[in-house]
Amino acid sequence: MNTTRHPLVRVMALHALLYCERLFYLEEVEEIRLADAAVFAGRSLHVDLASEKASEKTEVDLSSDSLGLVGRCDIIRMINGIWIPYEHKKGRSKKTAINSEAWPPDSVQVTAYAMLLEEQLGVQVNEGRIRYHEDNVTISIPIDEDRRSLALAAIARAREIRDLPNRPPITTNDRMCLRCSLSPVCLPEEDRAAKNPEWEPVRLFPPDREGRTVHVVDFSAVIRRAGDQLLIQVKGKDDVNIPINDVDSLVLHGYPQITTQALHQCAFNNIPVHWISTGGRYAAGLLSGAGSVQRRIRQFKALSDPRFCLQLAKKLGAAKVETQLKYLLRATSADNPRTASCALAINNIRSCLKSISHAESADELRGHEGGAARAYFDMFPELLKDRVPPEMVPSGRSRRPPLDRFNALLSFGYSLLYQSVLTAIVSVGLDPAIGFYHTPRSSAYPLVMDLMELFRIALWDIPLIGSVNRLQWDIAVDFQATRTKVWMSSEGRKKAIRIYETRLEEKWKHPVLDYSLSYFRTLELETRLLEKEWTGETGLFAKARLR
Ligand code: SF4
């Protein structure tokens, strides 16, 4: 057997392979592992199994070059002078009409441990046992020729699948996906919906965020590590302790200090740290949790093809411009009648939208998309109510520096969006530096700029215009204005962060998938759907529109 070319196969991976070949690929090739509640329960079960008996060994490491296999058996137990491998399962056994049986992947797993044990001890192992804790049943597995052949066939199949360039197809047994820990990554229901318009997808994707983004706005703050917590100290204020497990990213505005120990803690827990300048621009990020090399190579290959990039960019452009159009149509309804200039802008945007589908180059597409963006931004003053003070009404779009309060708010919100999208891209495992539409001219990551286009309107323009119309901004307190620029004050930043974070938590119904999820999770979902575009599961990226 040639063992130089093949790394050893993990016994646990054989279990995944026999459950679903795609699960094996995601875990072993793409190195994606999510610990859901069932996985945590299994881990704590293994901790409880620790034993001190001489006739029993727990968590036994076993490996064999000739079998091409490596693994850690839960327990091996000497009974009547014979070693027997035990596998402990948290769940139930398989019920038949007459008795209880082991599930096939479990039985192959314990057979593989038996074969490894034989090699290691140089003795024949004829039996393995599986203990199912939920129904309190122990099942004996004879290690016969049929089971040995099944285990060897599984090892051979594992090697074949490891060499595939793409993910195997999703399983046809959709009930298996209900219990699969990687369903939020695999997105099987979304794939079924993309292929079959009649399919009514079940939401396996989590609707809410698990942690929260911690924004530190006080320039005198110091962030330290305190055990498993982040400790935020600000002169003259009480210390704030935040458990590290509650944090999904950390954003430092201006000049707070952070200790090396706290940075290590964030890096170790895959928590990105972002810095936003006093002027509200995204300055830098500390990003960990890179995706597997194999996925990055696939992304790089796909996005090196200009025709493929143009296809994606057209989908993105159409989504953005159609959302602009829908928002303008909705915002200029009965209680805010449409003016002649607004009707003209809407016509211009409609005509840009039509042209996008015929664009033959990225430059042509940029022309149409830019035309729609100008018409859209020019309408902002018309979307503000008469009671809004003139200081809050924008005068065109100004970026660096913002020349009025509205533009300062717009830019600051887009910086918040930038860090959210960057966090989503890195957590999904894509490379933010490799995009398909924006050119890598500035220090901004092209893929982040690309994906932001899908979310600017829903996540910032709409809540911002709503807040201005509700007179939520204090002209004197929330801004620092000079003759040449306007910046957000510390108070203004805090208010903007609250509005933005509230919007991220809001749920909406995905118009194509027809299930509800938060905007925060939508960022991740859309990034995963983008990756599907180059893994042969195309169809749902950039389909969502404002309702
Ligand atoms: S979600 Fe379904 S198709 Fe995807 S890996 Fe899990 S079992 Fe397989």
Tell me the C-alpha distance between 541 and 546, whole Å. 15
Per-residue confidence (pLDDT) for residue 477, from 0 to 100: 93
Query: The pTM is what?
Result: 0.82
Contact 434, 303 (CB under 8 A): yes
Q: How much distance in Å is there from the Cα of 199 to the middle of ligand 1?
A: 17
Higher-pLDDT residue of 426 and 522 is 522
Per-residue pLDDT reduced to its tens digit, 260-288: 999 999 998 888 898 988 777 788 888 87
Model confidence at 539, in pLDDT bands (50, 70, 90)?
A: confident
Per-residue confidence (pLDDT) for residue 459, from 0 to 100: 96
Mean pLDDT within 525-540? 88
Per-residue confidence (pLDDT) for residue 373, from 0 to 100: 92
Higher-pLDDT residue of 115 and 331 is 115
List C-alpha distances in Å: 321 to 217, 356, 368, 372, 488.
34, 9, 9, 7, 29
Atom number, ligand 1, closest to the C-alpha of residue 169: 3
Per-residue confidence (pLDDT) for residue 295, from 0 to 100: 84
User: What are the DSSP E strand ranges found in 65-126?
Assistant: 69-79, 82-89, 94-95, 100-101
pLDDT at 47 over 60: no
Per-residue confidence (pLDDT) for residue 2, from 0 to 100: 44
Ligand 1 pocket test, candidate residues 29, 183, 532, most atoms within 8 A of CB: 183
Residue nearest to atom 4 of ligand 1 (CA): 186
Least confident of 96-105, 205-214, 250-259, 300-309: 205-214
Q: How much distance in Å is there from the Cα of 23 to the middle of ligand 1?
A: 6
b/e map 173-208, b = 16+ CB within 10 Å: eeeebeebbbbbbbbbbbbbbbeeeeeebeebbeee
Per-residue pLDDT reduced to its tens digit, 351-365: 999 999 899 999 999
Model confidence at 1, in pLDDT bands (50, 70, 90)?
A: very low
Higher-pLDDT residue of 505 and 50 is 505
Which among 83-87, 165-169, 507-511 has the top mean pLDDT?
83-87
Model confidence at 36, in pLDDT bands (50, 70, 90)?
A: low
pLDDT at 48 over 80: no
Q: What tokens does 172 get?
A: 């046809």
Atom number, ligand 1, closest to the C-alpha of residue 19: 7
Tell me the C-alpha distance between 212 and 215, whole Å. 9
Tell me the C-alpha distance between 35 and 524, whole Å. 18
Instruction: Give me the phi and psi of 307, to 5 degrees please.
Output: -70, -40
Average pLDDT over the chain, rounded to an integer? 88
Contact 14, 162 (CB under 8 A): no
pLDDT at 435 over 50: yes
Per-residue confidence (pLDDT) for residue 139, from 0 to 100: 94
Tell me the C-alpha distance between 16 and 352, whole Å. 49
Model confidence at 39, in pLDDT bands (50, 70, 90)?
A: low
Task: Give helix then strand counts, H and E, for the chain.
Answer: 20, 20
Q: What tokens does 141 get?
A: 């597995």
Contact 507, 515 (CB under 8 A): no
Per-residue confidence (pLDDT) for residue 34, from 0 to 100: 66
pLDDT at 390 over 60: yes
Which residue ranges have their beta carbon within 6 Å of ligand 1?
20, 22-23, 26, 170-171, 176-177, 180, 182-183, 186, 188
Which among 6-10, 88-92, 99-103, 465-469 has the top mean pLDDT?
465-469
pLDDT at 205 over 70: yes
pLDDT at 59 over 90: no
Ligand 1 pocket test, candidate residues 15, 18, 182, most atoms within 8 A of CB: 182
Atom number, ligand 1, closest to the C-alpha of residue 176: 7
